[in-house]
Structure formats: C-alpha cells, structure tokens
C-alpha cells in the first residue's frame, strides 16, 4: 500500500512538472530537421503572476537564417538585424549579408487567463546542435526572462525560467 501511495505521489509530481513546464514559453513544434525551412510558434501560456503580457521578445540563435515573424493583429512587430560573418546564399538565388538578430511583438495585452502563439518562419542550420531561443516576456506588471540554458549536466526542468528549446534531428539520408 505504501509503495502504491509513493508511486502515485511521484506520478503526480511528474505530471505537475510537465504541466508547469508546458505553461512556460515554449516553441511548438519543439523538434525539426536540421537544415530545413521551419515554421514554429512561441506559445505563451501565462502572464507574470497574473499580470497581462504586453511584449514578447525573441533572440535568434546564430546559424538561423531567413527569419520571418508572424503578423498579429493588435501587435506591432519589430525586427533587429545583425551582420553575417560572411555573405550567405539565400532563397531565389539571392545572397544575404545580414540576418535577423531579434524579433519583438508589442501590444495586446494578452490576459493571464488566455494563451496565445507568436509564429516565426526560419531556415535552420545544418548542424544538429539543439537551438535555444531566449525570450523576454514583459507584462503590465513584471517580467519573465525565459533565458536559462542548462549548463553541464543540469536538466532543463531544474531551471526556473528555461529558454525555449528546439531539438534538431538529422536530415533523412
């Protein structure tokens, strides 16, 4: 009986952790093929201690190119660019010398009682290293900095404000 009770406690704790983690800012889908053109969305599952979200700012990791944010009625989109180390080939025979460094959506407000998603289209790097997209979520009162990246053997669900993670899988041979 004791074992059963302990097992149910563990399962409950795991479910709670999963549920809470899912309510953080995450990217969906959270897995993609390396080197592919990918469309994902940052899901904002809650505000800051009950306060409404008024801005979502996403830092684009190095190696991600051809970034295009989703247009969202009621939100203005700001795109900041950074120079590339070397010119790169892009779609339709174009060559690019700069790429998107940061995207921010301002507006709303998005109440704590509702969720919303903020989409991005992008070209993923060929390497299969996981990609972290640090996000700063500003609210009418308060801020969440989803910018923590696990160091060494640290687990992601040990972090208080983990950065959204996109896992990359190899291209099909």
Compute CA distances 103 → 15, 52, 58, 148, whole Å. Answer: 32, 20, 5, 18
Tokens representing 43 are 């899901």
Least separation, in Å, of the C-beta of 20 and Cu ion?
A: 6
Residue ranges that bind Cu ion, judged by CB under 5 A: 23-24
CB of 13 to Cu ion, least distance (A): 16
Residue spans of alpha helices (H) in 85-128: none
Please, what is the minimum distance in Å from the beta carbon of residue 157 to Cu ion? 11
- Residue with Cβ nearer Cu ion (40 or 164): 164
23 or 79: CB nearest Cu ion: 23
Q: Do 158 and 167 contact (CB within 8 A), yes or no? A: no
Residue nearest to Cu ion (CB): 24
| 118 and 56 Cβ atoms separated by less than 8 Å | yes
Nearer to Cu ion, 115 or 119 (CB): 115
Q: Which among 84, 139, 151 has a CA at the least distance from the CA of 106? A: 139
CB of 64 to Cu ion, least distance (A): 24
CB 173 within 8 A of CB 95: no
Which is closer to Cu ion, CB of 78 or CB of 157?
157
């Amino acid at each position: 009986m004791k074992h059963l009770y302990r097992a149910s406690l563990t399962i409950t704790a795991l479910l709670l952790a999963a549920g809470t983690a899912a309510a953080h800012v995450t990217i969906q889908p959270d897995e993609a093929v390396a080197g592919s053109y990918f469309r994902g969305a940052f899901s904002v599952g809650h505000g800051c201690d009950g306060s409404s979200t008024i801005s979502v700012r996403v830092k684009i990791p190095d190696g991600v190119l051809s970034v295009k944010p989703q247009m969202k009625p009621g939100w203005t989109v700001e795109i900041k660019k950074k120079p590339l180390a070397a010119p790169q080939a892009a779609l339709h025979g174009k060559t690019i010398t700069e790429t998107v460094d940061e995207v921010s959506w301002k507006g709303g407000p998005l109440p704590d009682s509702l969720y919303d998603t903020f989409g991005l289209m992008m070209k993923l790097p060929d390497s299969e290293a996981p990609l972290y997209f640090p996000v700063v979520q500003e609210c009418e009162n308060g801020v969440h900095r989803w910018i923590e990246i696990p160091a060494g053997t640290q687990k992601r669900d040990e972090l208080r404000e983990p950065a959204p993670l996109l896992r990359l899988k190899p291209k099909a041979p």
